[in-house]
Amino acid sequence: MRLSEQHAMMRDTVRRYARDRLWPNAARWERERHFPRVELTELAQMGLNAIAVPEQWGGAGMDSTATAIAFEEVSAGDPACGTVMSVNNLVSGILNGYGSDAQKEKYLRPLAAGRMIGAFCLTEPQVGSDAGAITTRAERRGEQWVLNGTKQFITSGKNADVAVVFAVSDKSAGKKGISAFVVPTSSKGWRVARVEDKAGQHASDTAQIALEDCTVPVENLLAQEGLGYRIALANLESGRINIAAQATGIARAALEAALAYARERKSMGKTLIGHQAVNFRLADMATQVEAARQLYLHAAALRDAGEPCLKEASMAKLFASEMAEKVCSDAIQIHGGYGYVSDFPVERLWRAVRVCKIYEGASDIQRLVIGRALERG
């Protein structure tokens, strides 16, 4: 797929920023578990916190293709920044699509400007892919909603300023009894129960959130009561496209590191890239990265055209995440022993990319979605 002039210009701008500001610092941020708030604010000022949100509310007013391209570029610079940015765009998209004007003014505008960090609170300790099985409760008491429950694996849970929280407001209504709420993290009853010690992406915190009589005003209900499950599902396509783009970006960074090393390192009288075994491995890696890019661009183009693309989004996410883990592993292999130590970036990229096969629907969930679409014909 050939990019439009606007998309190519946007890609080049974000790539320069990622190369100059993210990549040189990513290893240190990972090591120090540093949350790069300054750089995330700069990304927001470039319009990357709310890429598909209209300019009226502070967004960039661009499309799904632009969003995915931005995720590839940022994630190639630092995967953790890509993850935080992904959730910021998810929250801003929900607020744009379902929030009232007052909610947009209070939360969407500062989120788009980088004055706020967003969190998306759906997953629970015993509930991952089955979103309809959440147990967090929301009870209306006068002019307030009171939330009780536990949310698990929440990106930016420690550093977020505002969260979209899903809870059961009517237990008898099943999935139609789930509602969504805008919850400032300064709310009474919001508590960071723990910050997870993850394999990778240490610059992006992942937390367990305890909601203990967490109280928000009635006007913080999103849209209307009972629409929470629909709101959560409405973002599946875009979320999966964006994670496919993120995985592609991480794989591309690993490929570029492996290429640089193979051109410089000599063995048996010539550079590694001059050995056919290494050369062929790099050829396969480059082909797989390009194939993943075309898959996510195709899914994004369908979404921009207003056509259904859940199958294509799942295909892109499945292929890109599986591909990226292998490409990062191959990059380590090309580096040999040096690939396994933190002096070189490929082990960090390998650890970072593994989660792409899990979040936004694990690989087997993607296969389930694709298989059902094939069955329907």
Q: Is 360 a known active-site residue?
A: yes
User: What is the structure's pLDDT at 364?
Assistant: 96
CA dihedral 349, 352, 356, 360 (to 10 degrees): -150
Q: Which of 193, 226, 225 is closest to 211 using CA atoms?
A: 193
pLDDT in tens, 257-270: 999 999 999 999 99
Where residue 377 falls among pLDDT bands split at 50, 70, 90?
confident
Query: What average pLDDT does range 131-140 have in this prediction?
Result: 95
Q: Which of 57, 19, 60 is closest to 39 using CA atoms?
A: 19
For residue 263, what are the β-bridge partners?
none
User: Alpha helix (H) ranges present in the chain?
Assistant: 5-17, 23-32, 37-45, 64-77, 79-98, 101-103, 109-113, 228-234, 236-264, 276-304, 310-335, 346-353, 363-376
The separation between the first and the last C-alpha atoms of the chain, rounded to the nearest angstrom, is: 26
**Cα(56)–Cα(46) distance, integer angstroms:** 15
Pick the catalytic residue from 72, 325, 347, 360.
360
For the four alpha carbons of 17, 21, 26 and 32, in that order, the dihedral sign comes to negative
DSSP 4: P
Tokens representing 139? 């009870």
Percent of the chain with pLDDT over 70: 100
Where residue 157 falls among pLDDT bands split at 50, 70, 90?
very high
pLDDT in tens, 326-374: 999 999 999 999 999 999 999 999 999 999 999 999 999 999 999 999 9
* Distance of alpha carbon 8 from the chain centroid: 22
**Cα(253)–Cα(11) distance, integer angstroms:** 15
Considering the entire predicted model, what is its pTM?
0.96
Where residue 130 falls among pLDDT bands split at 50, 70, 90?
confident
**Cα(137)–Cα(357) distance, integer angstroms:** 29
State yes or no: pLDDT of 236 exceeds 90: no
Mean of all residue pLDDT scores within the chain: 97
User: Are 36 and 202 spatial neighbours (Cβ–Cβ below 8 Å)?
Assistant: no
**Cα(117)–Cα(166) distance, integer angstroms:** 18
Which domains are present in the chain? 5-116 (1.10.540.10), 119-228 (2.40.110.10), 235-376 (1.20.140.10)
User: What is the structure's pLDDT at 131?
Assistant: 87
